[in-house]
């Protein structure tokens, strides 16, 4: 259950750069906006603070922070901290004081690695600009994405992007099982100098943690 929720969360966050609902053709202006947003994540390290709400019955809104640098990431929520250094993933369960170590397969990384989805819109999706022009007092462009094939993991997505700098304010995605995630981007810092050790589990900081190696 934890890994399913984690994959869905990361799958959503990765889409910070590119989401949208559907149309029968690709919109040139929408593509330009998506390219601009994607470029944010190619300019050094990025830190995003967010809140996320799923459509799962009984689920509560959850807040968290994610650091992204290339194919590396660190995700922190009240219940979990996950590190990925490009090869190995460490998932620390706060309540259990337990760390699960794994080497995700390329297929698994398609679900859990935020960076792998930065170019999602570049193939397999139709996209167009939606009608919304304002969001919480900000001038935005609404972009909608629709998967071209029913077996694609992400089927629909909507993204609200700042007209000023291309940063995303809001993302809503629907996967092939009709699960939805709505994400509010509370803050985004780009161009950060993040050392590689930020994406590796440091056992010294968690001396009581039980290590479970699943590799």
- What CATH number did the domain enclosing 188 receive? 2.50.20.10
Instruction: Enter the pTM of the model.
Output: 0.79
Q: Checking phi first, is residue 63 left (phi over 0); if not, alpha (psi -120 to 50) or beta? A: beta
- Give the number of other CB atoms < 10 A from CB of residue 129: 16
Instruction: Give 10-residue mean pLDDT values along the chain (215 residues).
Output: 56 50 62 87 87 78 88 90 93 95 76 57 85 93 91 86 91 85 90 95 94 93
pLDDT at 37: 86
Q: How many domains would you assign to the chain?
A: 1
Please give the residue range of the domain that contains residue 205: 2-213
DSSP 3-state assignment of 26?
Answer: coil
Query: What's the rounded Cα separation, in Å, for the pair 6 and 36?
Result: 27
């Amino acid at each position: 259950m934890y890994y399913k929720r984690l994959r869905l969360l990361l799958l959503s966050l990765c889409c910070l750069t590119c989401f949208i609902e559907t149309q029968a053709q690709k919109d040139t202006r929408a593509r330009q906006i998506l390219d601009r947003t994607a470029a944010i994540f190619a300019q050094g390290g990025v830190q995003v603070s967010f809140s996320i709400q799923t459509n799962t019955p009984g689920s509560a809104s959850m807040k968290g922070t994610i650091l992204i640098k290339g194919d590396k990431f660190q995700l922190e929520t009240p219940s979990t901290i996950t590190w990925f250094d490009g090869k190995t993933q460490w998932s620390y369960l706060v309540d259990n004081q337990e760390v699960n170590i794994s080497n995700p397969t390329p297929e698994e990384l398609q679900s859990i690695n935020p960076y792998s989805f930065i170019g999602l819109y570049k193939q397999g999706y139709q996209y167009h600009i939606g009608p919304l022009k304002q969001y919480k007092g900000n001038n935005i462009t609404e972009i909608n994405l629709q998967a071209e094939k029913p077996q694609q993991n992400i089927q629909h997505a909507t993204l609200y992007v700042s007209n000023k700098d291309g940063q995303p304010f809001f993302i809503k995605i629907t996967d092939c099982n009709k699960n939805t995630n709505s994400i509010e981007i509370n803050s985004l810092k780009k161009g950060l100098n993040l050392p590689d050790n930020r994406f590796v589990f440091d056992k010294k900081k968690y001396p009581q943690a039980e290590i479970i190696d699943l590799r």
